[in-house]
């Protein structure tokens, strides 16, 4: 009886009375289960995990030390609400030093968040009424779109295609879509394509946003992890602050995914709207974590060291995959490598989708990757695999080559 009324009570946005019963599993849950199964069936073989979207390194020991010291202080014990001023000041200085974004006001143009995921989930609350549109890019990080739909809004997905350097074609939007759109989500360096934006693209986005009166949300979660050229911020482009904000995260840049710390900066009114909905939803990140975050923002060289590791691993993996026959280019930033799937194996196994191919890879070669079928059949490989040192990295890469060579793919 109780079970029935609870089952009837679920909101439509999570499946209504069918919640928990549907056969459609969230992709990453499916991968987790498949990995467990593959390990069970091959207990003596090493599973090479190229599917993990988070750093393999821990936060720097100096950062952990700051947290330890600050956690002991009485002054840090309370609700942090919309954040401490020293973190906001450090964020402004960081934007100047790393991205040459000058003139942000730390009093009203910056606010921390409990990770960028949380910021993306909260932003639609400030802007989306039923029927309003959020423009997203696919494949991509879906959180802002999911929350838009939960609020009765609509999502228009723009595909990221190789022929457009994985940049969205804003011109393809209809006038009705432009009229109803309130938010445009862009994410460069991009998850999962690894693509980076250009200044020209950002300028085009600013112009598009002005012409159509659409707020731009630039998710820069991987921007600091640039190893070729300089990290690029949307806010460095003229006029960007008039139309939008950018989100920076300490998760990937400082190996702190579990610490939950990010900040939003840019347009004063958008930041104010975010801070208002945030205030209704959480009480801020622990002040000691924010103070450890201040240390990080004052030490951007931490990110450079991490980025060098990813760059090295990318070089090795690209070389290995090319040998197998994949068409793949080393990205300029992030830890993601994105490549199209083979057509079949020499023994005649054809692949119908990226999901099909990644299941095959896991079963036959014990290599885990993430499939994307939203805009072509691609897999995402992350160079965050566990490896103690460079020798271990080399061993893993040669093992990947050995296993894939054994199968023999036709492209």
Residues that bind ligand PLP (CB under 6 A): 53, 115-117, 141, 187, 191, 219, 221, 249, 251, 257, 262
255, containing H or E segment: none
Closer of 66 and 370 to ligand PLP (Cβ): 370
Q: Report the nearest approach of ligand PLP to the CB of residue 20 (Å).
A: 25
Query: Is 209 or 217 the residue whose CB approaches ligand PLP more closely?
Result: 217
Q: Contact, 403 vs 366, CB < 8 A?
A: yes
- The span from the CA of 99 to the CA of 333, in Å, is 14
Closer CB to ligand PLP, 104 or 220, in the complex: 220
Nearer to ligand PLP, 365 or 383 (CB): 383
Cα–chain center distance at 342: 26
Nearer to ligand PLP, 70 or 191 (CB): 191
Task: Rank residues 292 and 404 by Cβ distance to ligand PLP and give the closer one.
Answer: 292
Minimum distance between the CB of residue 19 and ligand PLP, rounded to whole angstroms?
25
CB of 25 to ligand PLP, least distance (A): 19
For ligand PLP, the closer of residues 56 and 219 by Cβ is 219
Partners of 350 in the β-ladder: 344
If the CB atoms of residues 262 and 397 are measured against ligand PLP, the closer one turns out to be 262
CB of 51 to ligand PLP, least distance (A): 12
- How many CB atoms lie under 10 A from the CB of residue 353? 13
User: What is the tally of helices (H) and strands (E) in the chain?
Assistant: 15, 14
- Identify the CA nearest to 372 among candidates 165, 134, 48, 137: 137
| Alpha-carbon dihedral angle through residues 367, 373, 374, 380, given to the nearest 10 degrees | 20
| Smallest separation, CB 364 to ligand PLP (Å) | 27
CA 251, 255, 260, 263 dihedral sign is negative
Cis peptide preceding 192, ω within 30 of 0? yes
> Quick one: which of 117, 121, 191 has its CA closest to 160?
191
User: Could you tell me the smallest distance in angstroms from the CB atom of residue 254 to ligand PLP?
Assistant: 11
Question: Least Å distance between CB 107 and ligand PLP?
Answer: 23
Q: Smallest distance, Å, CB 262 to ligand PLP?
A: 5
> Which stretch of DSSP H or E encloses residue 299?
none
Instruction: Give me the least distance between CB of 261 and ligand PLP, in Å please.
Output: 8
Q: Which is nearer to ligand PLP, 255 or 320 (CB)?
A: 255
By beta-carbon proximity to ligand PLP, the closer residue of 116 and 134 is: 116
Least Å from the CB of residue 102 to ligand PLP: 24
Residue with tokens 């139309």: 243
**Helix (H) or strand (E) run with residue 55 in it:** none
3-class secondary structure, 101: coil
DSSP string, 353-401: SHHHHHHHHHHHH-EE-EEE-BTBSEEEEES----SSHHHHHHHHHHHH
CA 355 from chain centre, in angstroms, equals 20
The CA-based angle 268-271-277, given to 5 degrees, is 140
């Amino acid at each position: 009886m109780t079970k029935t009324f609870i089952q009837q009570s679920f909101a439509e946005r999570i499946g209504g009375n069918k919640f928990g019963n549907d056969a459609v599993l969230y992709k990453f849950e499916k991968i987790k289960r498949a990995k467990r199964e593959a390990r069970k069936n091959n207990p003596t073989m090493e599973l090479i995990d190229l599917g993990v979207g988070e750093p393999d390194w821990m936060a720097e020991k100096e950062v952990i030390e700051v947290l330890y010291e600050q956690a002991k202080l009485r002054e840090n014990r309370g609700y942090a609400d919309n954040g401490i001023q020293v973190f906001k000041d450090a964020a402004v200085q960081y934007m100047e030093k790393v991205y040459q974004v000058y003139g942000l006001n730390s009093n009203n143009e910056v606010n921390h968040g409990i990770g960028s995921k949380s910021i993306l989930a909260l932003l639609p609350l400030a802007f989306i009424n039923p029927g309003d549109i959020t423009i997203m890019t696919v494949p991509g990080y879906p959180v802002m779109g999911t929350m838009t739909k939960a609020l009765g809004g609509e999502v228009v997905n723009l595909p990221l295609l190789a022929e457009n350097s994985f940049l969205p074609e804003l011109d393809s939007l209809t006038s009705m879509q432009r009229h109803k759109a309130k938010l445009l989500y862009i994410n460069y360096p991009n998850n999962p394509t690894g693509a980076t934006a250009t200044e020209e693209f950002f300028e085009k986005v600013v112009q598009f946003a002005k012409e159509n009166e659409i707020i731009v949300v630039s998710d820069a979660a991987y921007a600091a992890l640039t190893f070729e050229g300089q990290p690029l911020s949307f806010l460095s482009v003229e006029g960007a602050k008039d139309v939008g904000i950018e989100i920076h995260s300490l998760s990937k840049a400082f190996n702190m995914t579990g610490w939950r710390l990010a900040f939003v900066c840019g347009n004063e009114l958008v930041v104010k709207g975010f801070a208002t909905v945030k205030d209704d939803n959480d009480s801020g990140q622990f002040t000691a974590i924010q103070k450890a975050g201040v240390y990080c923002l004052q030490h951007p060289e931490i990110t450079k060291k991490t980025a060098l590791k990813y760059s090295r691993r990318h070089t090795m993996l690209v070389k290995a995959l090319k040998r197998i026959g994949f068409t793949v280019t080393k990205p300029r930033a992030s830890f993601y490598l994105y490549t199209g799937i083979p057509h079949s194996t020499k023994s005649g196994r054809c692949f119908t989708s990226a999901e099909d191919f990644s299941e095959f890879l896991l079963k036959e070669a014990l290599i885990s990757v993430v499939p994307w079928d939203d805009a072509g059949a691609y897999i995402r490989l992350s160079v965050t695999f566990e490896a103690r040192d460079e020798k271990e990295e080399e061993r893993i890469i040669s093992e990947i080559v050995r296993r894939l060579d054994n199968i023999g793919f036709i492209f």
